[in-house]
A = this chain, B = another copy of it.
Amino acid sequence: MVRPDELHSNSSPVSSTGRRNSLVTRLRLCRPFDTAEAHELDVVLSRHRWSLTSYHRNAIIAFRGDRYERLLVLLRGAARSEMNSYHGKRYAPAEHAAPCLLAPAFLFATENSLPVSIISTSDSQLLRLPRAAVLELCHIRPEFLESLMSDISDRLAALAEKLRLSRLATIRERVADYLLHLSELRGTRTMELPHTRQELAEIMGVTRPALSRVFGELADKGVIVYDRGDVQIIDLDSLLELVPE
């Protein structure tokens, strides 16, 4: 483990405007901060005790069991979160690419201990923003509140979908069920997928190449047509046959 470098931290209410400026610019690239005006972010940052830390590859950003009291915003680089079994075996890893929030729901959970460890997978930079600053932004900027709520809700929906698909044994079954489910919810057979290929792979608990292989197979057989994020179901019956009782 490499010791992180604490680049900046706002330890007093009066802090340099220059370094806040560059932080605000970077922060506005990240949902839900993109909904706020620069001057609003600047005011909130000037009032709260945030910190900005840089990590090398393989450094541990947060430990499982840590109290989650400040919002973790990955501003640069990439990270991985993972769970461990009681015998130290790692499973259910998830990848995170900057800019993004890390496990934001735990900031508000009653049981706010982090259930995963988060490891830096490249040189990265992390902002820790107090809960009170997040709530203040929700108050002064309703769009920020809506965007944060929608981010947390989307994560919950993805988790529910993952749980739904986890009862199915093969990747083919999972892809078929996912497409049928989405098609039913949308009421159409021509769909833009609401997830990137990487997110889809995580929801289905498979690797990206394995997922692409199944999409390729289904296309070769004429069951679906797909082009990047757009999928059309051609042969509904064949897709239904792939899903077990």
Question: Which A residues form the contact surface with B (CB < 8 A)?
Answer: 64-65, 83, 85-87, 89, 91-92, 105-111, 113, 115, 135, 138-139, 142, 145-146, 149-150, 152-157, 159-164, 166-167, 177, 180-181, 184-187, 194, 240, 243-245
Contact = CB atoms under 8 A, between A and B. Distances in A.
A110 B154 contact: yes
Contacts of A111: 154, 157, 185, 194
7 contacts: A108-B149, A113-B186, A115-B157, A138-B138, A139-B142, A149-B152, A152-B153
Contacts of A64: 184-185
Nearest to A131: B146
Contact of A135 (B105, B108, B142): B142
Given A64-B185, A109-B150, A138-B138, 10 more contacts: A85-B245, A87-B240, A87-B245, A92-B163, A92-B164, A105-B157, A111-B154, A115-B164, A159-B163, A162-B163
A115 B181 contact: yes
Contact of A152 (B105, B181, B194): B105
A245 B146 CA distance: 41
B83 A164 contact: yes
Contacts of A149: 108, 149, 152
- What is the predominant secondary structure among interface residues of chain A facing chain B? helix
Q: State the number of copies, please.
A: 2
B65 A153 contact: no
A84 to B, nearest CB: 10
Contacts of A106: 153, 157
Nearest to A163: B163
Nearest to A240: B86
A129 B142 CA distance: 18
Contacts of A160: 115, 159
A156 to B, nearest CB: 4
A150 B108 contact: yes
Nearest to A114: B185
Contacts of A177: 85-86
